[in-house]
Amino acid sequence: MAAVIISGMSESKAFISGCKGPTITAEEKAFFAAERPWGFILFGRNVGEPNQISDLVASLRDSIGNPDAPVLIDQEGGRVQRIKPPIVQQYPNGAAIGEIYRRDQEQGLRAAWLMSRLHAFDLMRFGITVDCLPVLDVPIGGSSDVIGNRAYGYDPKAVAEIGAAASAGLKAGGMLPVMKHMPGHGRAFVDSHHKLPVVDVAFDELAKSDFLPFVAMKDELMAMSAHIVFTAIDPENPATTSPKVVREVIREHIGFDGLLMSDDVSMNALAGDIEQRARGIVAAGLDLVLHCHGIMDEMLQVARVVPVLAGDTLRRIKAVEAGFAKPDGADETALREEFNGMFAIS
């Protein structure tokens, strides 16, 4: 495949990579320079103290010679918050936002916007530009707590409205959101980090619930896939590696034409070795393979099989790169006081 130019750089590949620790090693630096991931993702193992985070973000970008390379993180609040106190405050989970919404819809949407706007204040200081938020999954009774209180609630309309407010808050702060986990992870009865969830529910029922928040937010620029089998659509393959789910549900029914990345390729819901999984993700029609764990042998396997950015993926990449806006200039102290007052956080 011919090389393409991305933001002035050549041969960026269709994957997002993590790294092993709080600094990048010489081996990682050489790998990134040679294989050119489009972006990077941080986890708790990468977080030490403020200057270290900023230095790591800068060194990741420097390794591929792109000062604007996207750097992602899962900073939801609750139990999924990679940067924690005392570096930033502890934020409530999605269910707590949903509880305010159920009492007062306007206040709930304000709380969702405020929390995301505060995430942007926190993260942009370190150069982190993409938050893997909102969680648009709609759980059902008895489902695995892998989503659990990360979800805004059980009403798909409420989830959609709160998710839209959360996305708006990030964008107001100069960041971009990633919707997850498309087309819906709420019905999983096992944790997809460890086992493959299988959902035996008719398409019409899924369309009225699980898919609905994603339809409502189909014009967002980025989404992350779900490692879940929907037997009504493709009984053999999880959404992440199913051309049928990607084409018929995500692209056609939901109408999402944005950048679609996989959930972590290392998760054991996916079958085969890492190279086979990455091949399946590309073959299914996803735009990017996400590899999170910083394990070099796995990173090499991913890099071997992902393509250079081209075609529709390149078009979507360009839309994302053009989608970053300057922060709105809001008063952080005032917004933080307002938000913390909603939750009696001192």
Domain ranges for the chain: 16-340
Structure tokens at 196: 């493959």
- List, in order, residues 6 or more apart from 2 with CB less than 8 Å away: 308, 310
Interatomic CA distance for residues 305 and 22, integer angstroms: 27
CA distances from 87 to 48, 70, 82, 119, 122 (A): 9, 21, 11, 12, 9
Indicate which residues carry an active-site annotation.
Answer: 193, 263
pLDDT band at 14 (very low <50, low <70, confident <90, very high): very high
Please report the pLDDT score of residue 11 as a whole number. 83
Q: Are 130 and 261 within 8 A, CB to CB?
A: no
The reported pTM is 0.94
Please report the pLDDT score of residue 254 as a whole number. 98
CATH code that applies to domain 16-340: 3.20.20.300
- Number of CB atoms found within 10 A of residue 13's CB: 21
First to last CA, the chain: 55
Q: Is the pLDDT of residue 5 over 60?
A: no
Residue type, 323: G
Residue (of 125, 212, 128) closest to 164 by Cα position:
212
Q: Which helix (H) or strand (E) holds 14?
A: strand 13-17
Interatomic CA distance for residues 52 and 58, integer angstroms: 10
Residue type, 114: L
CA distances from 276 to 52, 98, 181, 271, 282 (A): 35, 39, 21, 8, 10
Q: Is the pLDDT of residue 1 over 60?
A: no
- Number of CB atoms found within 10 A of residue 29's CB: 17
Interatomic CA distance for residues 310 and 307, integer angstroms: 8
Q: Is the pLDDT of residue 203 over 90?
A: yes
CA distances from 261 to 88, 130, 155, 222, 328 (A): 27, 13, 26, 8, 28
| 249-259 confidence digits (pLDDT tens) | 999 999 999 99
Which of these ranges, 56-70, 177-191, 269-283, 328-342, has the smallest mean pLDDT? 177-191
| 87-112 confidence digits (pLDDT tens) | 999 999 999 999 999 999 999 999 99
Q: What is the mean pLDDT of the chain?
A: 93
Q: Burial-class residue 58 by CB neighbours within 10 Å (0-12, 13-18, 19+).
A: middle
